[in-house]
Amino acid sequence: MLEIENLHVSIAGKKILNGLTLTVEDGQVAAIMGPNGSGKSTLSYVVAGRADYEVEQGSIRLDGIDLLRKSAAERAALGLFLVFQYPLEIPGVATMTFLKAAINAQRRARGESDLPIPDFMKQVRAAAQKLDISQDMLKRPVNVGFSGGEKKRMEILQMALLEPRFAILDEMDSGLDIDALKTCAEGVNALRGKDRGLLVITHYQRLLDFISPDIVHVMSRGKIVKSGGPELALALEASGYAEYAEGAAA
């Protein structure tokens, strides 16, 4: 369970999150929708542990553990995963090297031994096949020269291999055509389960046609301003965000 309470965050003196409170239960898929600049991406970075944000107040807990006292890597080892809106290209680092380093780092953090190489290869091959990721892609450096769709599929592949307790999907639909979106959504849906919480951040209702949320939160000016069922997303699609922007200003 992810619990965020009264979170206040700024970067370079600029306030971004303004008393945000949010709970996502195990097995729940929660969606956060909101206009540009409402702080959605900041929320994902702060939960994942990026260092350049200043948390002024509040708490973030995963399964009761205070994440703010943990490094990004420690958070990942506790089972947190972030699907990046724009996955990074890392020249010179082979994808397989990267995947192996990530899996084994998390295993070591849990006190387990490294995954034997044949098992590792088998797991990667199986997961890659489901996501239509070719052997050639796995041979290239991490995300280098990948299309937007390939990068997102690679994110889902990492998620499938690392089996997180909780995943945040930051605008997973950006840069994806409809076919790539379907493939990625299927990958995500396959990872839904009663022990895993998901937080889906998006601008558009479209993504939620493929990953149907249990609950929808509307975010504006750095906090959650409304929560409701899936019908809330449809209403937003029809009316836009103007109401919430004004509401927050008042």
**Rule CB under 8 A: which residues touch another protein?**
48-52, 71-73, 75-77, 81-82, 84, 87-88, 90-94, 96-98, 100-102, 105-106, 109, 117, 141, 158, 162
Cβ contacts of 195 within 8 Å, gap of 6 or more: 26, 27, 165
Nearer residue to another protein within complex by CB, 81 or 146: 81
Shortest Cβ 195–another protein spacing (Å) = 18
Backbone φ and ψ of 13, nearest 5°? 85, -5
Nearer residue to another protein within complex by CB, 131 or 208: 131
Residues 224, 215: contact at Cβ < 8 Å? Answer: no
Shortest Cβ 51–another protein spacing (Å) = 8
What are the helix (H) ranges across the chain? 40-48, 72-77, 95-109, 117-130, 135-139, 148-162, 178-190, 206-210, 231-239, 242-249
Nearer residue to another protein within complex by CB, 87 or 187: 87
Shortest Cβ 153–another protein spacing (Å) = 16
- Number of other residues whose CB lies within 10 A of the CB of residue 204: 14
Shortest Cβ 244–another protein spacing (Å) = 29
Nearer residue to another protein within complex by CB, 82 or 201: 82
Shortest Cβ 22–another protein spacing (Å) = 19
Residues 200, 167: contact at Cβ < 8 Å? Answer: no
Q: Which of 95, 101, 42 is nearest to 73 (CA)?
A: 101
- Tokens standing for 197? 């919480």
Nearer residue to another protein within complex by CB, 71 or 227: 71
